[in-house]
Structure 1
Amino acid sequence: MSEAIRTAEGPGAGSDEPGPSRRRALRRVLVGLGVLGLVLALVVGGALWFLTDRYAGNVDRVAGVFTELDDEARPAPATPAQQAAEQPVTFLLVGSDTRGTAEQGIAAGGRSDAIMIARLSGDRQHAQLISLPRDSWVDVPGYGRNKINAAYAYGGPPLLIRTVEQLTGVRIDHYVAIDFAGLIQVTDDLGGVDVVVAETTSWGPYTFPAGVNHLDGDRARWYLGQRYGLPGGDFDRVRRQQQYLQSVFTQLFSSDTFTDPGRLDAALLAVTSAVAVDEQLGNAEMLSLAYSLRGLRPEAVDFFTAPTLGTGTEGAASVVYLDGVSADRMWAYLGSDSLSQHAEEFGRQALPAVPR
């Protein structure tokens, strides 16, 4: 082949090597894809940062909740069989209706208005919430027999966790302090919530007639605060707390909320500003946990009250006696992540469809 022919064909002619123009075009495409990928990464990362900062970052932290606990004396964490799948997560929820105390993790006066165990199943398809009556007569480590919320008064979250773990044999993974007064703001942000009342009652400035009641924030505050005038007293108050949480959860998952970004944003901000969690639950873990619960629906959440034998007095104190036999079965199911499969055994302790 002559030199002229080779020059006319150009370098690389007749071979599989791309020419300079094709190489430049390929580089431009690759650079463009790289820039697009970087932009997408920044957008996704920025969105995650925004969500983490706006919602998880809005949650206060309670310091020193678990640092004082002797890990060897605590119930064991999830078994190896459970660890093969996603582990269940157990929270201890402590509620106060006194605004402004949630960030300390202790209610004003050192007493809790609500004590609940919340368990998220390993498959994240079920959850259980079990209320422990605040007057439950239990053994408080280092203080002998006393009401369970006395543990809260004597030693704050660490002693309450020790007391609950000793009572149930279930390890508490995280601690949540709920300011019910702040949480009630969620009611207004959601446009109100519906509750069903069995019998007409009155408390404060409001009457709650039998049937469906649409509660705004102020009505919800009085509805949750009523104890006197209810046949079951504090037991009925506990059921109303559970009913309210169930209604809020249902409303959060309603199509109206998810199709109204402004309402959803306001509700999430109100929820996160009304709770404080232990400092071991970081923002990234909180966001990851929330994402893992994306398939959980309100109907898959069971509400119970710990089994009881009735009320009585110890000295001058009015107390609640727990049913040790039934409670031990409940704690065993809870610890093995199987309470949802045995929920029918605890029908008497379950939240009724229409609380009083």
Structure 2
Amino acid sequence: MRKKLKNLKKWQKYTFLIIGVLFLVVGSMVGYAFYNVNKTLSTMHQPIEREHSDKRPEKVNFIEQDPISILLIGVDSRNGNLERGLSDTLMVITVNPDDKSMKMVSIPRDTRTEIVGKGFEDKINHAHSFGGVEMAIPTVENFLDIPIDYYVKINMEGFKDLVDAVGGVEVNNSFAFSTGGMDFPEGKISLNGKEALAFSRMRKQDPRGDFGRTDRQKQIVQAVIKKGASFSGITNLDSILNAIGQNVKTDIASTEMLDIQKNYKEAINDLEVLQITGTGTTISRIYYLQVPEEERLRISTILKEHLKLNE
């Protein structure tokens, strides 16, 4: 089921935080601050070794404005291992500068699929815990049958540092619940970093499960963007950059980020969210989401067409 966003500006800001929040900072800062931004970009950059995907004949060319795909990975690193933690969130974003549009699909963490490199089926979020980004990327590529050109990984545990760096956030809670010894009443509430992390992680009490949790995560990110872009956020630039540098990793180089901003920025004005549906099932006492083949093919076909892979 497709769902057009009602407020494109908010989603625009959400996506920009994940794949290029630093563009906003670069555009606002000069001199000393610009030096710190470049330092943060260098800290974020973490290239990986992987074989060239057979789903992409040639490397994308930013100057020619080839459509690109980015895998967003939110990692549960409560065990202190950002490299091999479970992936709380897996989102794929495709960007087509020709028709100036973006598509985004969130893959439910319990989705049962083949783990590439292991030779068996498991929850898709286990791929990162088994083999890091190097295993998560080909597993997602195999599931959606599209190439993944780049990745951005966020440490969800450390994300609370970013919330605190902007001075906390405000969100609108759709229903009251308690988790981790904290109460979250219905309505507009203010959250510090620790509270924001708990708010975004809860799913067992949510009748919508992973989908409800994803919506809360979006609210947190949108609120961080709003505070970070304000004057108070700019005055806390050092703290914000430090939080980003420690908790975000990507194989997108700083020069490539600038190329994306220059040649793809108009695409963020049209963002469509795709939702994967499936049926919950229990196998050997373990819960999985079984995605029907026709549903997987539907999503895959949409993304392929957006990436112009069938031309």
Shorter-chain TM-score bucket reads 0.7 to 0.9
User: Once the 2 structures are TM-superposed, how far is the Cα of residue 165 of structure 1 from its aligned partner?
Assistant: 0.9
**Matched residue of 1:119: which SS?**
strand
1:119 corresponds in structure 2 to 94
**How many residues matched?**
278
1:51, distance to aligned residue in structure 2 (A)? 5.6
C-alpha RMSD of matched pairs (Å): 3.4
- Separation in 2, partners of 1:158, 1:171: 13
Alignment-mate amino acid for residue 35 of structure 2? F
Aligned 8 A contact 2:71 2:91 in 1: yes
1:284-337 CA-to-partner distances (Å, cap 9, x unmatched) read 22343345566676x7555454x1222111222110112433442333222333
Structure 2 residue identity aligned to 1:246: Q
Q: Given the superposition, is the C-alpha separation of residues 294 and 272 from structure 1 closer, same or farther in structure 2, using an over 3 Å criterion?
A: farther
The one-character-per-residue Cα deviations of 1:44-71 (angstroms, maximum 9, x if unpaired) are x98897265333123152532x2xx2x3
Distance 1:89 1:197 in 2: 34
Matches of residues 1-356 of structure 1 in structure 2 within 5 Å? 50=35, 53-64=38-49, 66=50, 69=51, 71=52, 73-76=54-57, 85-98=64-77, 100-102=80-82, 104=83, 106-107=84-85, 111-122=86-97, 126-141=101-116, 142-253=118-229, 256-257=230-231, 261-278=234-251, 281-290=252-261, 300-305=270-275, 307-337=276-306
Structure 2 distance, partners of 1:229, 1:173, is 36
TM-score, normalised via structure 1 length = 0.66
Find the aligned partners of 2:304 and 2:241 in 1 and give their Cα distance. Answer: 30
| Paired residues of 1:118 and 1:127 also in contact (CA < 8 A) | yes
**Could you list the runs of 5+ residues in structure 1 that have no partner in the other structure?**
1-44, 340-356
**1:155 to 1:135, Cα distance in 2 relative to 1, 3 A:** same
For the residue of structure 2 that corresponds to 1:313, the secondary structure is strand
Matched residue SS, 1:320: strand
Q: As a proportion of its length, which structure holds more helix?
A: 1
CA contact (8 A) 2:65 2:264 kept: no
Equivalent-residue separation in structure 1 for 2:160 and 2:100 (angstroms)? 26
Counterpart residue identity of residue 198, structure 1: S
Which residue matches 2:26?
Answer: none
Task: State, as a whole percentage, how many aligned pairs show the same letter.
Answer: 25
Pair 1:247–1:332, CA change in 2 (3 A): farther
TM-score by length of 2: 0.74
The alpha-carbon deviation at position 164 of structure 1 amounts to 0.9
2:260 & 2:110 partners in 1: Cα distance?
Answer: 32
When residues 261 and 243 of structure 1 are mapped into structure 2, their CA distance, relative to the original with a 3 A threshold, is closer
| Separation in structure 2 between the aligned mates of residue 247 and residue 292 of structure 1, nearest angstrom | 27
Q: Note if contact 1:242-1:303 (Cα within 8 Å) is conserved in structure 2.
A: no
Contact kept in structure 2, 1:52 and 1:287, CA below 8 Å: no
Cα 1:234–1:275, aligned 2, differ >3 Å: closer, same or farther? same
Kindly indicate whether the alpha-carbon contact (under 8 Å) linking 1:52 and 1:284 is maintained by their aligned counterparts in 2. Answer: no
CA contact (8 A) 1:310 1:322 kept: yes
Q: Which AA in structure 2 matches 1:267?
A: I
Could you say what secondary structure the match of 1:113 adopts?
strand
Distance 1:145 1:223 in 2: 31
Relative distance call for 1:252 and 1:171 in structure 2 (3 A) is farther
Quick one: distance in 2 between partners of 1:123 and 1:270? 34
SS at match of 1:87: coil
